[in-house]
A and B are shown apart, each in its own frame.
Chain A
Amino acid sequence: MNTHIPALTVSDVSKVFDVSAPWLNRLIERRPKLFVKAVSEVSFTIEKGTCFSIVGESGCGKSTVARLVTGLYTTTSGDISFGTGRTGRPIRVQMIFQDPHSSLNPRWRVGDIIAEPIREMKLRDDVKQTDARVRELLETVGLGADDALRYPHEFSGGQRQRISIARALASEPELLVCDEPTSALDVSVQAQILNLMRHLQDELGLTYLFISHNLSVVRHMSDYIAVMYLGRIVEQAPVEHLFTAPRHPYSKLLLATIPDIENPRRRIDAQAGEPPSPLNPPSGCAFHPRCPIAMDKCRKAIPELLATEGQARVACHAVTDP
């Protein structure tokens, strides 16, 4: 594969949402405007043909990163740039969504859903070619060509996710952003969809940005992994490196929560506490209220993401500056 050629470069990207009450309410109740910093200074690079995963608790900003990359949200600051694709133009990006029940328009036939990108982007010249392409796509994702005439409610969750993948492939993207593509599915179906995605990656040379909170899924899929906490990347490493030698205390906590088949009744030392509200983030390192090894410094200064051994990078005072 073309390794070390970037497909996507995200540099210092931040996203701030305005969550203020309506103007009149603010005026009467004398409340200031409210902002949430969902993503703070996130940087990463995805090499062509690889799978880059972002993991973290819900609300940590991983889905926001996915939507920033696809352009559904605009960045508040920072820069997102795409590498050059096969045909010389910038790489095209598409997205696979989490909920297969809301990601397909219930009033459209499956064939129209998959043909929409082809029609909107004028990728085929006439109706016949479009139909042929839709059929081909349906077969690529393991459905029948006749399914084009059915409506989404006639399919199971796994089949719908296949339709979703077919739609994403219809615009001939080279980078697929997958926002928790399997978390709404049964475990047995999850494996089928993940295997299909890996198969497509090999066959079409796709690059994945994979968002998940399920660490076993991430381990199965990815080459590189980033752990996010409250809008920041706290650790970033090749996948086996992170699973065998996590450095950041939050990564350690996440790994400790994976159920263990060898020892199902082992005690899990999950630290108490919820992730703090992004409306009012803690000072210094956002993780310090839950961190077992927090020091004075952690309450004051935000740790930088610094390189440690190998390709790993960690943002923790206790690791980089003990």
Chain B
Amino acid sequence: MTDQADRKVLSRTEAFFDSDLWWSFKAHKSAVGAAIVLALVIVAAFCAPVLSPQDPYDLAALELWNAELPPIWMEGGQMPYLLGTDVQGRDILSGILYGTRISIVIGVASVVVSLFVGIGLGLMAGYYGGWIDNVLMRVGDVLLSIPIVLVAILVSSVAQQFLPPAWREAGVAAVLVLAIAMYSWVQYARVVRAQTMVERRKEYVQASRLVGTPARRLMLKHILPNTLTPIFVAATLNFGLAILIEATLSFLGVGMPPNQPSLGTLIRVGNQYLFSGSWWIVLFPSIQLCILVVAVNMLGDWLRDALNPKLR
């Protein structure tokens, strides 16, 4: 007891930089590298209006005689089109920066939406059990048994039918987010449910029940913080997955339209010109998509190992 009395009480920030997680992060070169790359990609994407040489949304700025210019290091390349231009004279680099921004926003939004739904339903299923649990989990099973791209195509085409025409353009991103979230909440719900069923039986929850804590507060203040670790890992890995799903949908033509392109749309559009020799239109957005997803997944893999007590 005397030994404990001398130990300093750490503040939250100090505790973070003293934690096992931070030490593990510093020790893993791949995690640090992935974090730096990811930070660069994100900063570049969100500074796109400042960084990019051209506003790709401003149709008046496009010059058709600048169409299909190759990258700057090749014969015929021109400043300021570092990575060349597409068939409408749109700068590829600017398109990538703006497209990455859209991809990231849709990825984050769909992770946040599915986190809310998944955590809420998972807590209820795990805490109450019984028929609530049965119904929620069977619904999840059914959703997971359908390929995600089909679910997403279904949702977005149905939504397109029912949205008023004026909203169709603006609502595309929201519909995409919903379509992705509809599928990925199941994973969070399953993790939270399993962990809740373990935590709910623990004695600290019973002790709190004894003083009359209502069920909602029990779930949010006691159980939820103890289920967050695996959720954190799942959310990171799913962020990468959500970006890929969005790109797939956009590539298939049910995602973002060409006038507000995401990385997937850029790849789809560029794909049509691949055999006419303009390989740069499709290659550079694809590389950017790879970098983004690989960096996210590397961070997620590290996090999964770092938070797994059996691998410490």
Question: Which A residues lie at the B interface, using CB under 8 A?
Answer: 67, 70-72, 94-95, 97-99, 102-107, 113, 116-117, 120-121, 143-144, 146-147, 149-150, 154-155, 159, 164, 167-168, 171
Contact = CB atoms under 8 A, between A and B. Distances in A.
Contact of A171 (B1, B9, B209, B211): B211
Contact of B222 (A105, A149, A159, A167): A105
A150 B226 CA distance: 17
Contact of A72 (B7, B9, B210): B210
Interface stretch (B21-29, B199-207, B246-254, B281-289): B199-207
B4 interface: yes
Given A70-B210, A72-B210, A120-B213, A104 B204 contact: yes
Given A72-B206, A103-B203, A159-B1, 13 more contacts: A94-B210, A97-B203, A98-B203, A102-B202, A105-B208, A106-B226, A107-B226, A113-B204, A121-B211, A121-B212, A144-B5, A168-B207, A171-B211
A155 B204 CA distance: 16
Contacts of A95: 206-207, 210
A164 to B, nearest CB: 8
Interface string B15-52: 00000000000000000000000000000000000000
B212 A120 contact: yes
The prevalent SS among residues of B at the interface is helix
B200 to A, nearest CB: 12
The 5 A-B residue pairs with the shortest CB-CB distance in the complex, in nearest-first order: A103-B203, A97-B203, A117-B211, A107-B225, A105-B204
Contact of A116 (B203, B206, B213, B226): B213
13 contacts: A72-B209, A94-B210, A95-B207, A97-B203, A105-B204, A107-B225, A120-B208, A121-B212, A146-B5, A149-B9, A150-B9, A168-B207, A171-B211
A147 B211 CA distance: 22
A103 B7 CA distance: 24
In the complex, which of the residues B4, B5, B213 has the most CB atoms of chain A within 10 Å of its own CB atom? B4
A167 B207 contact: yes
Contact of B203 (A102, A107, A155): A102
Contacts of A167: 207
**Which of B207, B213, B222 has its CB near the most chain A CB atoms (within 10 A)?**
B207
Contacts of B7: 154
Contacts of B209: 72
B210 A71 contact: yes
A117 B222 CA distance: 14
B226 A105 contact: yes
Contacts of A98: 203
Contacts of A113: 204
Contacts of B9: 146, 149-150
Nearest to B217: A120
A81 to B, nearest CB: 18
Contact of B211 (A67, A104, A116, A155): A116
A102 B204 contact: yes
Contacts of B1: 143, 159
Contact of B4 (A155, A164, A168): A155
A97 B213 contact: no
Nearest to B134: A22
A117 B204 CA distance: 12
Interface string B203-244: 110111111110000000010011000000000000000000
Contacts of A99: 203
Contacts of A146: 5, 9
Contacts of A144: 5
